[in-house]
């Protein structure tokens, strides 16, 4: 018995661009810019690691290879989330 073909990707999150300054992300028709100074995990990551983003439960972004979890609301208003990663 053969399995059915896989369906299309249902994740509504995708990377639009990886620039020298940060990452452009599209989530459900809204664009976000994630500058490396605020999101340092992406600066040294490979393109494949950055592109492998999943939108879980409609509000949670997850990069498995980087072990990064971001709440979508935090991207809408960084000032409401004052804690920052410090290396």
pLDDT in tens, 50-68: 999 999 998 899 999 999 9
**How much is the average pLDDT of 1-24?**
78
What does the alpha-carbon distance between residue 56 and residue 44 come to, in Å, rounded to a whole number?
Answer: 24
Q: What does the pLDDT read at residue 40?
A: 93
Reported as type and span, the H/E element at residue 73 is: helix 72-76
**pTM (two decimals):** 0.75
Of 13, 10, 21, the residue nearest 75 (C-alpha): 13
The dotted CATH code for 13-80 is 3.30.2020
Instruction: Classify 5 as helix, strand or coil.
Output: coil
Question: Phi and psi of 85, rounded to 5°?
Answer: -75, 130
């Amino acid at each position: 018995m053969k399995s059915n073909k896989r369906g299309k990707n249902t994740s509504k999150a995708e990377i639009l661009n990886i620039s020298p300054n940060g990452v452009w992300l599209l989530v459900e028709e809204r664009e976000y810019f994630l500058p490396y100074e605020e999101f340092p995990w992406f600066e040294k990551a490979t393109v494949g690691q950055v592109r492998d983003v999943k939108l879980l439960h409609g509000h949670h972004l997850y990069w498995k290879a980087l072990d990064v979890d971001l709440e979508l609301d935090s991207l809408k208003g960084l000032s409401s989330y004052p804690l920052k990663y410090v290396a």
